[in-house]
Amino acid sequence: MISITAADLSGISPALHLAVAGIAIMLLDALWPMRSKLLSVWITLAALGCSLTTSLHRLTAGVDVTLFNGAVRMDGYAHAFSAIICLASTLAVLSAPKYLRLRGVHLAEYYALLLFSVCGMVLFAAAEELIMLFLALETLSIPVYCLVGFTRTNVYSTEASMKYFVIGAFATGFLVYGIALLYGAAGSGYLVDLRAGAARAPGLFYAGMTLLLVGFLFKIGAVPFNMWTPDAYEGAPTPVTTFMAEAVKAAPFGGMIKVLFVGFGFDAAVGLWQPALVVIAVLTMTVGNLTALVQTDVKRMMGYSSIAHSGYILVGILAASKLQSADALAAVLYYLFVYVLMNAGAFGILILFSHKDKDTNAVEDLTGLARERPWAAALMAVYMLSLTGLPPLAGFFGKFYIFSYAVKAGYVPLVIIAILNSVVSAYYYLKVIVAMYFRGPEDTGRAAVFHYEGYSVFLLAMLWFTAWGILYYGIHSEPQLALARLAASSLFATAP
Amino acid sequence: MITLQEYLSVGALLFTVGLLIVLFRQNAISILMGIELMLNAANINFVAFSNALGGLTGQVLAIFVVVAAAAEAAVAIAIIVLLYQNLGTVDVEKARNLNG
């Protein structure tokens, strides 16, 4: 007899908070539409806060439970991803009310959709089984297709939504087909049993592994599966782009790392995925950075920059798989944490100066910002320098840890390429700083106005928090790394 | 008696057809149909494997895929309607406001 126990429900409470809050918001909106908007912001923040604190608490307490007949495992790894994703989503939610209000689409559904998506993300890193993995992926993706098209009358938003849907669903197609083949090869849906498929039916197994990897690489926007990612980033409403660039970006890594390490393992025969990922990592970093160089739109540039960052994270994953050490994987988790802070901040500045009829998206739009709004310019400079990877900001330490473990793992040429890429990326991040600090209206021939339209305390809180986080957690990275190590070692406890 | 190989061949064929439709058709509704074909190709494999291996995992997976595909189709059709309202076309090649 299969039954759901109270222990199952309390075990997945980080995900459950979010789902319940999402449903509550939908009910509230139906029953009390007048007041539902602001209230739903608070409900969302409360739910995300609950999940975040629960996850952190359970991570430090070392909770490790297997639930729902082995379909979900809430261990340190799942809790760490849950915490990163809840933090990322909180930052995205804080940036939303101002923008949506200006666009006249401040609707409660936005928060409900966002919460459902986050619920899927939390379960994605916790899935121990192929059905769960697939369902979590769909739960996280489908609401995002809606969110991208949220400004309904906007042509760009609709087009971005269509394109994002096509790549997303296309990736799902590959993923499901890969899952089908792996299930056939291994004869079981559990990740730990997948490896046995390599001996039982190698043809099916390797085909399935390739297709599953292609599906994942689509989701993280790796080259050559990145075609429409920047379009989706550019066309989506900026708060949704924030959400996509941090939470939707970080979550697939949660599932991917688990499938690679626990499902496929590190044996030489099964480890064929490593050389493939080396090539993909090099391509992803290089193409992402080189294309970002020529962009004039900050959102689009950040789209390519996020592709490049996926490449750095892949380097970290490769190092962790080669060394099979929890420390190396902890560096990847730390990087994801830092990456979330930097991206949220950079998009936050764009939202800060977005007006009713016009977004502030072009690099040119930021010309002369430092003279008029010195604090905003200083914050943006912190985010950009951190994205470049300049010490002593958190972005530097994130890259430093990843690259040093990669060197230890013997991926020296890969690290050299990654560092060269970081140097190249400095050009387009610094382009923003140059525009803000060293150019004025006399250079562009038009006066830029930087007034805050639709002042939002939420947004300002988010900006200051991320900047503080980048400054503080760079130098004081040890507590974060210790948590990440705890999480990573729980994954390696199950890996072969 | 239909063998496992034959089921898998049909699945692979359907998947390829779906893939080609998504890659080469410009009509958004065709693309949606292509994606549905890809998902259903996987479903055939699930059920075939479930039959060959015994056990119900594959069949349960197939049912979940059907549900998820329905949810995806609902959202996709909403997006296509929006595309038609805003652009007057469902041709994704004509949706080129974002320089991709």
Q: What angle do CA A203, A205, A208 make, to 5 degrees?
A: 105
The pLDDT score that the predictor gives to residue A152 is 87
- A293-332 exposure pattern, b = at least 16 Cβ within 10 A, e = fewer: eebebbbbbbbbbbbbbbbbbbbbbbbbbbbebbbbbbbb
For chain A, the maximum distance between any two Cα atoms, rounded to a whole number of angstroms, is: 76
- Please state, in angstroms and rounded to a whole number, the distance separating the CA atoms of residues A139 and A73: 18
Q: Collect all residues of chain B within an 8 Å Cβ-Cβ radius of residue A131.
A: 57, 60-61, 64
Provide the residue ranges of all domains of chain A, joining segments of one domain with +: 6-494
pLDDT of amino acid B43: 94
**Local confidence pLDDT in tens for the 496 residues of chain A:** 568 888 888 889 999 999 999 999 999 999 988 888 889 999 999 999 999 999 999 999 988 998 888 889 999 999 999 999 999 999 999 999 989 888 888 889 999 999 999 999 999 999 999 989 999 999 999 999 999 999 888 888 998 999 899 999 999 999 999 999 999 998 888 988 888 888 888 889 999 999 999 999 998 888 887 777 888 898 899 999 999 999 999 999 999 999 998 888 887 656 678 888 999 999 999 999 999 999 888 999 999 999 999 999 999 999 998 888 899 999 999 999 999 999 999 999 999 888 877 777 788 888 888 888 889 999 999 999 999 988 889 999 999 999 999 999 999 999 999 999 999 999 999 999 998 888 877 776 666 667 777 778 899 999 999 999 999 998 888 888 989 998 888 888 876 6
Tokens of A372: 């008029």
ipTM above 0.90, yes or no: yes
Q: Please report, as a single letter, which amino acid is at residue A68.
A: F
Residue A132 C-alpha, separation from nearest chain B C-alpha, in angstroms: 9
Tokens 């809430």 correspond to A74
Q: How many angstroms separate the CA atoms of A341 and A84, rounded?
A: 10
Q: Do A130 and B42 touch (CB under 8 A)?
A: no
Helix (H, G, I), strand (E, B) or coil at A362: strand
| Rg (chain B; Cα; Å) | 17
How far apart are the C-alpha atoms of A418 and A408, rounded to whole Å? Answer: 15
A162 contacts on B by Cβ (under 8 Å): 28, 79-80, 83, 92, 95
Residue A342: its H or E element: helix A326-352
Q: Which residues pair with A73 in a beta bridge?
A: A66
| Token code pair at residue A198 | 């390599």
Using alpha carbons, select from A300, A152, A278, A308 the residue that is nearest to residue A213. Answer: A278
CB atoms closer than 10 angstroms to residue B6 = 11
Q: What are the residues of chain A with a beta carbon less than 8 Å away from any beta carbon of chain B?
A: 130-131, 134-135, 138, 142, 145-146, 149, 152-156, 158-163, 165-166, 169-170, 172-174, 176-177, 179-181, 183-184, 187-189, 227-228, 230-231, 234-235
Q: Could you tell me which residues come within 8 angstroms of residue A476 by beta carbon, excluding any fewer than 6 positions away?
A: none
Question: CA–CA separation, A215 vs A256, rounded Å?
Answer: 10
**Among A353, A369, A340, A385, CA closest to A460:** A353
Give the separation between CA A302 and CA A299, rounded to whole angstroms: 5
> What spatial distance separates the first Cα and last Cα of chain B, rounded to whole Å?
49
Whats the size of chain B, residue-wise? 100
- The alpha carbon of A478 is separated from its chain's Cα centroid by a whole number of angstroms, namely 22
Q: Which residues of chain A neighbour B97 with C-beta distances below 8 Å?
A: 155-156, 159, 235
Check residue A445 and give its pLDDT: 64
Chain A residues within an 8 Å CB radius of B48: 184
Question: Using a CB cutoff of 8 Å and minimum separation of 24, what contacts does A373-376 make?
Answer: A373/A450, A376/A349, A376/A352, A376/A450, A376/A463
Chain B residue numbers with beta carbons less than 8 Å from the beta carbon of A184 are 8, 45, 48-49, 52-53, 58
Contact A176/B19, CB-based, under 8 Å? no
| B33 contact residues in A (CB cutoff 8 A) | none
- Domain residue spans in chain B? 4-87
Whether the CB of B86 is below 8 Å from some CB of chain A: the reply is: yes
Shortest CB distance from B49 goes to which of A169, A180, A230?
A180
For residue A463 the two structure tokens come to 């900006």
Please count the residue pairs, one from chain A and one from chain B, whose beta carbons lie less than 8 angstroms apart: 127
Q: How far apart are CA A145 and CA A235, in angstroms?
A: 12
Do A235 and B42 make contact, defined as CB atoms within 8 angstroms? Answer: no
Residue A247 to residues A257, A316, A421, Cα–Cα distance (Å) = 16, 18, 24
B58 CB neighbours in chain A (<8 A) are 183-184
8 A C-beta contact, residue A306 and residue A440: no
Is residue B57 within 8 angstroms of chain A, CB to CB? yes
Beta bridge partners of A127: A72
Please tell me the distance in Å from B69's CA to the nearest CA on chain A.
Answer: 9
Token output for A144: 């995002």
CA B83 to CA A152: how far, in whole Å? Answer: 9
User: What fold characterizes domain B4-87?
Assistant: Helix Hairpins (1.10.287)
CB contact under 8 A, A138 and B22: no
The position carrying tokens 């990612």 is A229
Alpha helices (H) in A104-228, listed in sequence order = 108-126, 130-148, 155-186, 197-200, 202-220
Question: How high is the mean pLDDT of chain B?
Answer: 89
The answer to whether B72 contacts A142, with C-beta atoms less than 8 Å apart, is yes
Each of the 100 residues of chain B gets a pLDDT tens digit; together they read 788 889 999 999 999 999 999 999 989 999 999 999 999 999 999 999 999 888 888 898 899 999 999 999 999 999 999 999 988 888 887 777 766 5
Residues in chain B within 8 Å Cβ distance of A174: 38
pLDDT at res. A23 = 96
Looking at the partner chain, which of B42, B53, B71 has a beta carbon nearest the beta carbon of A177? B42
DSSP string covering A36-86, please?
Answer: HHHHHHHHHHHHHHHHHHHHHHHHHHT--EEEGGGTEEE-HHHHHHHHHHH
Bridge partner residues of A67 (DSSP): A72
- Please name the member of B46, B72, B87 whose beta carbon is closest to the beta carbon of A155: B87
- Do the Cβ atoms of B98 and A160 come within 8 Å? yes
Chain A residue with Cα closest to B56? A188
The token duo for A377 is 């310019």
Q: How many CB atoms lie within 10 A of CB A76?
A: 26
Q: State the helix-helix crossing angle for A238-258 and A298-323, rounded to 10 degrees.
A: 10
Q: Do B22 and A235 touch (CB under 8 A)?
A: no
Residue A84 CB partners (closer than 8 Å, separation 6+): A250, A333, A336, A337, A340
Q: What is the pLDDT of residue A343?
A: 93
**Given CB atoms, is B21 within the 8 Å cutoff of chain A?**
no
> Are the beta carbons of A189 and A182 closer than 8 angstroms?
no
| Interchain pair A184, B19: CB under 8 A | no
Radius of gyration over every alpha carbon of chain A, rounded to an integer in angstroms = 22
Instruction: State the DSSP code for A1.
Output: -
Structure tokens, A247: 């939470």
User: Does B45 contact A at CB distance below 8 Å?
Assistant: yes
What is the number of other CB atoms lying within 10 angstroms of the CB of residue A190?
18
Question: Helices in A294-411 by DSSP H: which ranges?
Answer: 298-323, 326-352, 369-372, 374-388, 394-408
Whole-angstrom Cα distance, residue B73 to residue B67? 10
Note whether B77 contacts A: Cβ–Cβ < 8 A.
no
